[in-house]
A = this chain, B = another copy of it.
Amino acid sequence: MDIIEKLINEFSKLPGVGRKNAIKYAYKIIAMEETEAKDFANTILEVKEKITFCTTCGNFTDVSPCALCVRVKNQKQICVIAEPKDIIFAKRIKDFEGGFHILHGTLSPLEGRGPNDIKIKELLVRVAEGSEVVIATNTDVEGEATAMYIAKILKPLGVKVTRLAQGISMGTDLEYADEVTLNHAFNQRKEI
């Protein structure tokens, strides 16, 4: 396989990228200045080399505890999200001063993911009586089931469990919520 075809193939591995877009991206790389393309490649290498999990929240980070954990003002509040990329969307909640906790998945009986396959134990050690856990998993079936399960586990421990208010429409991924809706949903969060 020639080298350009190889680069097209690499781009095809990205989510949602078909052959035509992969060709566009590959030729963009070829047309780039040498230093610009090198920066691109080196950033990929740097990310793979430096990124680990934050030992506190489970976020991808190059320092542990991560920048978000260091910045926490309210230790009693934890916002629970499913995937690392959701943090980019969840951190737009302006009134939230607590920390994050990334589950790295949701419960899914269909795909065989139970409580031990996601970071729920790690959440348990972070909460104390009087804590509030705001669950911001997606509003799909798996996200809802995960929220319910966590609520069931935490409530007996004297932890207040809340969920972002509906306002984010059912079935919508967190990343598609606009900022106003997202902030409104945070302020209207309800105990479950």
Contact = CB atoms under 8 A, between A and B. Distances in A.
Nearest to A62: B3
A48 B23 contact: no
A29 B4 contact: no
Nearest to A87: B4
A43 B96 CA distance: 42
Contacts of A29: 44, 47-48
A34 interface: yes
A69 interface: no
A17 B43 CA distance: 17
A50 to B, nearest CB: 6
A39 B15 contact: no
Interface in A89-109: none
Contact of A44 (B24, B37, B47): B37
A145 interface: no
A88 B7 CA distance: 13
Interface of A: 2-4, 6-7, 10, 13-17, 20-21, 23-30, 32, 34, 36-48, 50-51, 60, 62, 67, 83-85, 88, 175
Given A3-B43, A6-B46, A30-B60, 19 more contacts: A2-B67, A3-B46, A3-B50, A4-B47, A7-B43, A10-B44, A13-B40, A14-B28, A16-B21, A17-B25, A23-B175, A24-B85, A29-B47, A29-B48, A30-B51, A30-B84, A32-B48, A37-B47, A41-B45
